[in-house]
Amino acid sequence: MLRYFISVLLFFGLFLVKAQSGPIDLQPQDTISFKQPYGLRAGIDLSRPALSFFNSDYTGLEIVADYRLTQSLYLAGEIGNEKKTSTEELANVDLENATPLYNFSTSGSYIKLGVDYNTYENWYGMNNSIFIGGRYAFSTFSQTVNDSFIYDSNRYWNPDQFSNGTLNNVEYGGLSASWLEFLVGIKAELFANIYLGASVRLGFLVSNTEDDNFPNLWIPGFNKVTDGSNFGVGYNYSITYFLPLYRKAKKSKPSANSPENQ
């Protein structure tokens, strides 16, 4: 009986020695998984109502939205409507008394769709972003020539050599344009689920359908069209509200002591 008991003790002793011969992980294991919110964020561009208030020649409204697809990727877009009255002037030496060529009004709507990519690594519990993005934009609009002026070689009746043209109060409808847009911007959480954002945008015209009698000098959503160039510059300042729909665990980066990095 004693021999049997000693044999059992020797067996368990050898088993414990074998079990302890393997590596022991002394690193603390984090069992808490932080889940990030996913959902829809929507609001308006603040710059267009402000410009409408201070400038009687402009009215506009833009709705902005984005939907979080992954940890850093967002499906984003804007939709808006703008109306602007502009004057195209003849470049001359006398800047204080520039000669007007056209006074025209442009009115129409636009839509922009694309993605934003967040390049900012947030701290725990934060959802701010410094992002880059791209859009494909399309606009439909009309232009009305309010006043036009033409060169008159008869200086007796027109000392300034310009008289009223024949295009006054003529409307050109059915116009359209499309462009690609690259943007850089930020979005910061001011209060719970309320974000303030800003972005700068560089557009490149892909198509521009215009009337043969009058060019598209200003496009809603694109801004001023420069002669001889397909590029345009824009911006926006947005305030949005985030509606969380579900939560997903954040993917953590492997640590330096993890087995895959050893």
For residue 162, what pLDDT is reported? 54
- Examine residue 6 and state whether it is found in any structural domain, yes or no: no
Looking at the DSSP bridge assignments, the partners of residue 140 are: 109, 176
158, amino acid identity: N
Q: How confident is the model at residue 248 (pLDDT cuts 50, 70, 90)?
A: confident
For residue 15, what pLDDT is reported? 45
- Examine residue 10 and state whether it is found in any structural domain, yes or no: no
Q: What percent of the chain has pLDDT over 90?
A: 55
Tokens of 237: 């300042």
- Examine residue 237 and state whether it is found in any structural domain, yes or no: yes
- Examine residue 12 and state whether it is found in any structural domain, yes or no: no
Beta strands in 192-259 (DSSP E): 194-209, 218-219, 223-224, 231-249
Domain tally, the chain? 1
Q: How far apart are CA 34 and CA 167, in angstroms?
A: 65
Q: How confident is the model at residue 5 (pLDDT cuts 50, 70, 90)?
A: very low
Read off the CATH number of the domain in which 181 is found.
2.40.160.20
Q: How confident is the model at residue 223 (pLDDT cuts 50, 70, 90)?
A: very high
Mean pLDDT of the 21-25 span: 51
Average pLDDT, the chain: 81
pLDDT digits (tens, 9 = 90+) for 69-109: 998 999 999 999 999 998 877 766 455 666 777 789 999 99
Greatest distance between any 2 Cα atoms in the chain:
138
Domain that holds residue 47: 34-245
Q: For the residues of 210-222, what is the DSSP string, one character each?
A: -BTTB---EETTT
